[in-house]
Structure 1
Amino acid sequence: MLSQSTQQQNLKPQQLLPVETLKSLNQRSNVKGILQLMAHLMVMGVSGYLWGSQVLEGWLAVPFLVIYGFSLASMFATLHECVHRTAFASQRFNDLVAWWAGVLSLYNSTYYRPYHKWHHRYTQIPGKDPELAEAKPSNWREYLLHLSGLPWWWGKLQTYWELITGQLDNYYFIKENNREAIIRSARLQILVYGSAIALTTALGHPEAFFLYWLLPLAVGQPILRFILLAEHTGCTYDDNPLTNTRTTLTVFPIRLLMWNMPYHSEHHLYPSLPFHALPKAHQQLAPYFQQIENGYLKVNQNLVQQF
């Protein structure tokens, strides 16, 4: 019988799962997707209510602001899953949820789809992977600045300005036939934000947009940055999916709000797998991965120890 190392040498990474196993895991489900979305929205609704309703006063409300903020920021994970069109069996529903999840998390799904497709095609390849355009932190100042979310906010302002004004020449991953759809989508998203501000102001609550979206999202961003740093930082700069991506074993609340994205090595090896299949895939694929870590604290601790 062949040893595991010998089998790994004889198989391409994408062949590690048997065809029948992969076929079974690839089954998408509207029911599982809707239940997952409802759970995420329930966390958002309850924590948002406890933050904004003044049921709890002063510092007692702050933990719910943090939970609410992270539930908003982690709508990025919802968008990510829907952009892959694996959250639901319905492609139309995937696209609809992706767009509104982007509104909540300040991403644009129409733009993110080609960006993320290019990231998967050229993961960790310098000069080709668009995620490498932002350098990873190499000292404490860069690390704390990254966690603050300030570079992310500045990048969003720049990107949305270029999208709504049609300045897409530097976005090498956007094909010519996608340009108009991306411009329209970005303009519509900005219109949604403007309409929300106008409506809340007309209703006598001009502070609502800031208190119930902008501030919580800013509070949630450092947690999301802390988590996303683990996906590829410190991994190999090559096209080997067994070494260029990290899976992080973490607690259920994080896995829930991140739609199982912590199983990131499994996702990159088989992007077609829906979120609910990743834990099962992990059971079979874990022995092959070089980058598996117990917890995000450990990943970030290892990162800062290299400064």
Structure 2
Amino acid sequence: MFNDGIPQPELLENKANKQHNGRQILSAKELNILSDRSNSKGLVHLAGHLAIAGCSGYLWATNFGNWALAIPALIVYGFSLASMFAPMHEGVHRTPFANNHLNDAVAWCAGVLSFYNSTFYRHYHKWHHLYTRVPDKDPELTDMKPSNLGKYLLIISGLPWWLGKIRGHFRAALGQLNDCPFIPDKAQKEVIHSTRWQLAVYAAAIAISITVNQPWFLLYWLLPLVVGQPILRFILLAEHTGCTLDANLLTNTRTTLTLWPVRFLMWNMPFHAEHHLYPSIPFHALPKAHQQLREHFVYVCWSYLKVNWDIVTKSGQSAF
């Protein structure tokens, strides 16, 4: 049974009554088993993700003119780059690998590929988990809302994301972090240095492209990421949009059931309600956690198409 529509008032009331002990659904022993981290599982998954990116990127690079093959390859390659957001996100939580140095290194490199800075995101995301869907506290609530079709399409295009990331990266590199209350003073220097190193990587890639007179930076990073971002926006929009604006982790986050390739490239992030309820559970254990927790969540939907259709048709509601 899927609770993807507007829940009945009594269902929301029942879930609200469980809010105080939501994180007590699993026993300490069950949570300890599910939270077991694994270098091998993380590295195998990362290798698979990189293999998809490498193969699709090769097909894109070697089939210009054969658009029947090149365009699908570009779409897969673009999404495999954009979805590097997922290992960046997991690494920020330090759950995909047992070794925290490996978690941090993979998070930073995946952030470079997906145009996120993992050091900045670690602090931003910590507040998102502390204050999920709490007005004036959750930093994600400052993002544009899909309150009408035009805004929905603008969000899906990725344009606001690009503008926000470009502005945010340069402001961080210049040390302009006064509007980022989630970054403590003692962490600002680390965020600034990390962002500067990331921008230096992009500058070096651009310089190499210019030096060899080849549009490598444009063709193999910028264009594919532009193509892949709308797919990622389509997925991420489903995580909380339309859920309750309160601190109840059983009602403020949505799990979306989807195809295995999407789950793979997103590192099981579609099991998002499970992740928010128990952030210590690594990506590889989230499907098992879903089996144990799904009946407790209000929002479990059977597809991203359904969620996005609901977002469009119900746009303008204050819950968004």
Q: TM-score, normalised to structure 1's length?
A: 0.95
User: Could you tell me which residue of structure 2 aligns to residue 161 of structure 1?
Assistant: 170
Q: Out of 78, 81, 86, which is 2:95 matched to?
A: 86
User: Could you tell me which residue of structure 1 aligns to residue 289 of structure 2?
Assistant: 281
User: Could you tell me which residue of structure 2 aligns to residue 306 of structure 1?
Assistant: 314
Q: Out of 215, 228, 231, which is 2:223 matched to?
A: 215
Give yes or no for the alignment of 1:249 onto 2:263: no
1:286 deviation in Å? Answer: 0.5
Give yes or no for the alignment of 1:57 onto 2:66: yes
Runs of 4+ in structure 1 deviating by more than 6 angstroms, as ranges, are none
Task: List per-residue Cα deviations over 1:166-198 (Å, max 9, x = no partner).
Answer: 111110100000001100010100000010111
1:18 deviation in Å? Answer: 1.3
What is the SS of the residue equivalent to 2:301? Answer: strand
User: Could you tell me which residue of structure 1 aligns to residue 200 of structure 2?
Assistant: 191
What is the SS of the residue equivalent to 1:123? Answer: coil
Which residue type is aligned with residue 164 of structure 1? A
Alpha carbons 1:50, 1:56 under 8 Å: kept: no
Task: List per-residue Cα deviations over 1:22-58 (Å, max 9, x = no partner).
Answer: 1111100000000000010010000000001227722
User: Could you tell me which residue of structure 2 aligns to residue 147 of structure 1?
Assistant: 156
| Aligned residues between the structures | 301
Q: Out of 105, 123, 147, which is 1:138 matched to?
A: 147
Structure 2 distance, partners of 1:56, 1:40, is: 26
User: Could you tell me which residue of structure 2 aligns to residue 297 of structure 1?
Assistant: 305
CA gap of 1:170–1:17, structure 2 versus 1, over 3 A, is same
Which deviates more from structure 2 when the two are superposed, residues 106-115 or residues 131-140? 131-140
Alpha carbons 1:232, 1:245 under 8 Å: kept: yes
Structure 1 distance, partners of 2:81, 2:158, is: 14
What is the SS of the residue equivalent to 2:105? Answer: helix
Which residue type is aligned with residue 196 of structure 1? A
Structure 1 distance, partners of 2:96, 2:306, is: 29
1:36-115 equivalences in 2 (<5 Å): 36-54=45-63, 57-115=66-124
CA gap of 1:9–1:137, structure 2 versus 1, over 3 A, is closer
Give yes or no for the alignment of 1:31 onto 2:76: no
CA gap of 1:9–1:121, structure 2 versus 1, over 3 A, is closer
Structure 1 distance, partners of 2:67, 2:144, is: 38
Structure 2 distance, partners of 1:15, 1:233, is: 25
User: Could you tell me which residue of structure 1 aligns to residue 248 of structure 2?
Assistant: 240
Q: Which residues of structure 1 form unaligned runs of 5+?
A: none
State percent identity of aligned pairs.
Answer: 57
1:160 deviation in Å? Answer: 1.0
Structure 2 distance, partners of 1:142, 1:55, is: 34
Structure 1 distance, partners of 2:78, 2:67, is: 17
User: Could you tell me which residue of structure 1 aligns to residue 179 of structure 2?
Assistant: 170
1:201 deviation in Å? Answer: 2.1
Alpha carbons 2:243, 2:251 under 8 Å: kept: yes
Structure 1 distance, partners of 2:213, 2:133, is: 49
Which deviates more from structure 2 when the two are superposed, residues 224-233 or residues 17-26? 17-26
Structure 2 distance, partners of 1:16, 1:279, is: 16
Q: Which residues of structure 2 form unaligned runs of 5+?
A: 1-13, 316-320
Bigger RCO of structures 1 and 2 (CA < 8 A, at least 6 apart): 2
